Structure 1
Amino acid sequence: MAITAKQVKELRDRTGVGMMDAKKALVETDGDMDKAVDFLREKGISKAAKKADRIAAEGLTKAVVRGNEAVIVEINSETDFVARNEQFINLIDTVAFALIDQKPATVEAALTDVTIEGKDLDTYIKEKAAIIGEKISLRRFEVVSKTDSQEFGTYSHQGGRISVLTLIEGNNPEFASMVSMHIGGMKPQYLNEEAVPAEVYEHEKAVLTEQSLNEGKPAAIVEKMITGRLRKFFAEICLVDQKYLLDDSKTVAEVAKENNAEVKGFFRYEVGEGIEKRQNDFASEVASQMGK
């Protein structure tokens, strides 16, 4: 049967695919709009699956607060260009609110148990990947709840390359926002000394001990030197011991006390951190795409 331009436009509006893909789907299904949507879904999922071996190390992070609940999430794409795409930005918003609503415990549970528009999250993301044209993956998230006596703070940098979600005790939204900005810039790894894993502490102590002995210091004072150097180490990696970004004469803990607040926890996500990015030879890649 003849396929009209109106049918093609309707299918494109419903699915977001290109004109030729829409026309082909309608031809394959004899103009049946619902069957054409299914055809594109099946084709899209297949296309997304072929992208499985690609490395998705770009993307966006986002922190969203809704009442006494909040979420911080990272979704990865293959290129920074796609991460700026309006469809990708809408995707991370949709996923963030679905995570708050349905509160899965893990990424694996989210992909199978969270539903959006009647589809499980894994299928939903794969369909969006097929439309956008890149591998897209949910990398990590945290859903956090607070009490009425607590406050959330958020911070976003470089359009979502870095996001921070902070929980403080005390109703001081201004301090919550400012300490979130501090976390974004100063990159603390832990809340306080008690939160530092024992293996990290022991490793650093062993390194500092070796350094001190190699400097030829007497064994009697090495222990005192190590104590001082460990204190400096904690001041670099622990949020409450860091010098406050906006007033380095005070620590974060001191500023929190002045604001009748206490930082209870935080999450800082930076796009692609810890992901090994594939190094491509650009000239070879272009040649391969040109069939040379």
Structure 2
Amino acid sequence: MNITASMVKELREKTGAGMMDCKKALQECDGDMEKAIDWLREKGIAKAAKKSGRIAAEGLTRVAVEGNTGVVFEVNSETDFVAKNDQFIELLDTIQTVLLAAKPADEAAALALDVNGDTLETVIANATATIGERISFRRVAVIEKSDDETFGSYMHMGGKISALVVLKGGNAEVAKDIAMQVASMAPQYISRDHMPQDFIDHEKSIQLEILKNDESLNSKPENVLKGIVEGRLSKSLQDVSLIDQVFFKNPDQKVAQFLKEANAEVVTFVRYVVGEGIEKREENFAEEVMSQISGK
């Protein structure tokens, strides 16, 4: 497979590894980005895989709460300029209203919702025609809580990141703090107990390969090596476990300790980042101008 400069650049941004290491990793893995990340980690060249995906598409996320219903959704545009447009913001307001009222099960159900005689899909299509850029409704999560539970929500940079959490116990202030933790520290699971076994097994295999490639450990007894693997695995999993993360307001305290003191427990959380996992088209304006001049 032909390994392009853009592929190498992307892998370097994801791992922090050198250009030549990234190129070799992609060659060894036939251009598979995720396998190349693992390959670099196994060789000890990349410290950790970045799981957030390629952040590229523009637009906004939004989190809103009404009674016992909370919604988080994302609407994409082609440029950040349009995402700040009043018409775009009004569209998000409309979408928020119908989502909270109808509580759709998924994106398809959301797009079929009635908005003053039109479907939401038609409203978005009309916005595309009016604004002059492709507008797309990408995803939605509807969360219901019970009366004895508390919502915490937070939007960063006007909606570049949105987080919604549900707590049992605690209060609104504690819930807001946990939502800010989720937004800023990007946990993937509430705790290790919530992680799928295949996710844990995959992380363990990475740590085993790293150990195999560390010649300084070759002479260590098997029980010592096992302890090292478990220690490294535990550290790796802590980074993606909400309750095991360092609390953003107090570097001397874990989230679990903060929750215990507040007599609170995390029931669930959702975190959306604009453009997460979407590859952005690369623009080369110099080439575009030259092609127009030459008539190509």
TM-score, normalised relative to structure 2? 0.76
Secondary structure at the residue paired with 2:98? helix
> In structure 1, what is the equivalent of residue 138 of structure 2?
139
Per the alignment, residue 70 of structure 1 pairs with 70
RMSD, matched Cα: 1.6
Residues 74 and 271 in structure 1, CA contact (< 8 A), matched pair in contact too: yes
Residues of 2 paired with 1:290 and 1:59: CA distance? Answer: 32
Tell me, what secondary structure is at the counterpart of 2:188? coil
Aligned positions of 1:77-88 closer than 5 A: 77-88=77-88
- Asked if residue 104 in structure 1 is aligned to residue 104 in structure 2, the reply is yes
Q: Secondary structure at the match of 1:220?
A: helix
Higher relative contact order (CA 8 A, sep 6+): 2
Residues 32-51 of structure 1: pairs in structure 2 closer than 5 A: none
| Aligned residue number for residue 122 of structure 1 | 121
Question: Does the Cα contact within 8 Å between 1:213 and 1:222 map onto a contact in 2?
Answer: no
Alignment partner, residue 157 of structure 2: 158
Identity of aligned residues (%): 45
Count of aligned positions: 236
Q: CA deviation at 1:291?
A: 8.2
Does the alignment pair 1:258 with 2:257? Answer: no
CA-to-partner distance for each residue in 1:216-260, whole Å, 9 max, x for gaps? 233222211111111111210110110101112221111011011
| 1:240 to 2:240 alignment | no
Query: In 2, distance between residues paired with 1:104 and 1:272?
Result: 22
Task: Give the number of the structure whose alpha-carbon radius of gyration is greater.
Answer: 1
Give how far 1:289 is off. Answer: 6.3
Q: Residue 71 of structure 1: SS of its match in structure 2?
A: strand
Which amino acid counterpart does residue 249 of structure 2 have in structure 1? L
Cα pair distance change 1:273/1:193, threshold 3 Å:
same
Inter-partner Cα distance in structure 2 for 1:221 and 1:57 = 46
Q: Are the counterparts in 2 of residues 169 and 261 from structure 1 also a CA contact under 8 Å? A: yes
Give unpaired runs (5+ residues) of structure 2: 1-55
Other structure's SS at 1:247 match = coil
Query: Are the aligned partners of 2:170 and 2:262 in contact in 1 as well (CA < 8 Å)?
Result: no
* Higher helix content, 1 or 2: 1
Alpha-carbon separation, structure 1, partners of 2:206 and 2:107: 36
Distance change in 2, residues 1:71/1:280 (3 Å): same
Per the normalisation by structure 1, the TM-score is 0.77
